Chains A and B, each alone.
Chain A
Amino acid sequence: MDPKNLEIRVEKKKSFNVYKIREDFPILQRKVWDKPLIYFDNAATTQKPKQVIKTIESFYKNLNSNIHRGVHYLSQASTTEYECARKIVKVFINAKYEEEIIFTRGATEAINLVAHSYGSVNLRPGDEVLITFMEHHSNIVPWQIICERTGAKLKVVPIDDNGEIIIDEFEKLLSDRTKIVSVVHVSNSLGTVNPIEYIISRSHEVGAVVLIDGAQSIQHIPIDVQKLDCDFFAFSGHKIYAPTGIGVLYGKRSLLEAMPPYQGGGDMILSVSFEKTIYNELPHKFEAGTPNIEGAIGLGSAIRYVQNIGLDVIYKYEKQLLDYATEQISQIPDVEIIGKARNKASLISFVVNNVHPHDIGTLLDRDGIAIRTGHHCTEPVMRRFGVPATSRASFAFYNTFEEIDVLVKSLKKIIEKFK
């Protein structure tokens, strides 16, 4: 790597020491195929720091018990921890009220919750739901299902060759028929950061509610749901250094209060009789059944970990990684980067002339490098760019410039092999 980039790194070290950070992630110490693991599949899921692993271990060793309703010590203690995690999330995204934080299985369940609960009572034949061409399947299919059920129409805002939303087309598609706008904040296959502030305010002007799919932004960009004024915000814990199986739906209290329950069961009721069941209040109305207690507590711990480093510090460092990787990868002959938005976050999708992404993935793996290949659950994006699949390297703050150098070297070797 050239000295210029080294300088950036040295400057950065004042506030942020990546090598120190890496010691927090036990898995980063392991080898794969006898090579040091280089984990560039962070957009699929992130690795967990030992602080999170310890929190979960300690929960099972000291506190394990079902939450709510229990009068015994452990049940009260685990309820306190679970509800404390909700407070941590509330502060992290700056929600106004704690009960606006609903724990779900992940971003997918959060989006389904809104589609089914809000959608089923607010969509009528002729109404429209607006999404974009770059949505993850989890922000397409739930809307297709609810549109089919209610007679509403799904409209899709196109994207341009750089992978940016075409704002003029968004304006054209937006109308008083638009009832719900559901947009990804950061695209998982292109890296595009969408202008959600603008989309939210324009959508509100026509009276639509807005859901932001924050699955790929929560770990990279500071989020303030009050400032954004979004109506719903969805994300998954496992993409922000927490366990799988836990996620969050943020919703404005007034909207959540008016929405019917999504699932029925224990915890979401105040009283049940065969004649009439009274639903519990927020947030419990939307948390039927025993939740993922260790997951919520692990999420709380992961957010604390991120807060300790500072998401603004993380953002700056990851931006440098992205810029460096973009510069290095785009210099390799025969490589084309898919997704050249002006504002991108932490991942690079690319294709190589005459080398299929699967072959790249298999060969990089043998050099210890984990990337993802395929359509990344965004088939419409693949079709839009005329490729069957891409290779995607996605970065986290524990990645280093040296790792990017290894990736570039390995890529060059692969391209040579296929010549």
Chain B
Amino acid sequence: MDEIDALYEEVILDHNKNPRNFGVLEEATHKAVGHNPLCGDHIEIYLNVQNGVVKDVKFKGVGCAISKASASIMTTVLKGKTLAEIQSLFDEFHRTLTSKVDEPVNTEKLGKLAVFAGVRNFPVRVKCATLAWHTLIDALGNKKSD
């Protein structure tokens, strides 16, 4: 598969077109807003966390296919995870995206997220794929104030 097809994988195009868990979570305990001023991307993440475990998550926003798909796929893997598990998953995700093109990908740990490995060939798009995750980590540090 060539690099560009690997970036715009079917799965990514599908999540871009039909984002999962899209919307506002009324009973959110945590939320955060993320921006990428360079491309005008904007994302809001809503979480319901009970006893340190994510019960529910939704997101809203505008962005490129990579950032939207990343947010969408992220929301599908969070439920039931502890905050420590999420942090460790993000660390692996981030490490993979910024690793060298020929380094092996830990597909076992990444699961569905492995589809973003193609972003490694496009360093300027790494921010797009990580925006949702940075916003998530931000949200987990923030209690919803309103």
Interface of A toward B, CB cutoff 8 Å: 354-359, 362-363, 366, 373-375, 382, 387-389, 417-418
Q: Are A417 and B62 closer than 8 Å at their CB atoms?
A: no
What is the bound-complex CA distance between A359 and B63, given in angstroms? 10
Whether B125 is near chain A, meaning CB under 8 Å from some CB there, is yes
What is the bound-complex CA distance between A120 and B3, given in angstroms? 54
Q: Are A359 and B40 closer than 8 Å at their CB atoms?
A: no
Q: Are A374 and B38 closer than 8 Å at their CB atoms?
A: yes
For A373, give the chain B residue with the smallest CB separation: B39
Q: A356-B63, A362-B122, A362-B125 are in contact. Are A388 and B41 (CB under 8 A)?
A: yes
Q: Are A356 and B64 closer than 8 Å at their CB atoms?
A: yes
Interface set, chain B 17-43, CB cutoff 8 A to A: 17, 38-42
For A354, give the chain B residue with the smallest CB separation: B17
Interface of B toward A, CB cutoff 8 Å: 3-4, 7-8, 13, 16-17, 38-42, 62-66, 68, 122, 125, 128
Residue from B16, B64, B66 having most chain A Cβ neighbours under 10 A: B64
Q: A375-B40, A389-B39, A417-B8 are in contact. Are A359 and B64 (CB under 8 A)?
A: yes
Q: A417-B8, A418-B16, A418-B17 are in contact. Are A359 and B66 (CB under 8 A)?
A: yes
Consensus secondary structure, chain A interface: mixed
What is the bound-complex CA distance between A366 and B118, given in angstroms? 14
Q: How many A-B residue pairs have CB under 8 A?
A: 47
Q: Are B39 and A388 closer than 8 Å at their CB atoms?
A: yes
* CB proximity of A409 to chain B, nearest CB, Å: 16
* CB proximity of A33 to chain B, nearest CB, Å: 9
* CB proximity of A196 to chain B, nearest CB, Å: 29
For B124, give the chain A residue with the smallest CB separation: A362
CB-based closest 8 A-B pairs: A388-B40, A356-B64, A358-B64, A389-B40, A366-B4, A359-B65, A359-B64, A358-B39
- List A contacts of B39 (CB < 8 A): 356-358, 373-374, 388-389
* CB proximity of B60 to chain A, nearest CB, Å: 14
What is the bound-complex CA distance between A373 and B63, given in angstroms? 13
Q: A358-B64, A418-B65 are in contact. Are A382 and B17 (CB under 8 A)?
A: no
For A419, give the chain B residue with the smallest CB separation: B17
Q: Are A382 and B40 closer than 8 Å at their CB atoms?
A: yes
Q: A362-B7, A362-B125 are in contact. Are A374 and B40 (CB under 8 A)?
A: yes
What is the bound-complex CA distance between A375 and B71, given in angstroms? 22
A388 is contacted by which of B16, B17, B42, B125 (Cβ under 8 Å)? B42
B65 is contacted by which of A356, A366, A375 (Cβ under 8 Å)? A356
- List B contacts of A363 (CB < 8 A): 4, 8
For A418, give the chain B residue with the smallest CB separation: B13
Q: Are A417 and B63 closer than 8 Å at their CB atoms?
A: no
For B7, give the chain A residue with the smallest CB separation: A362
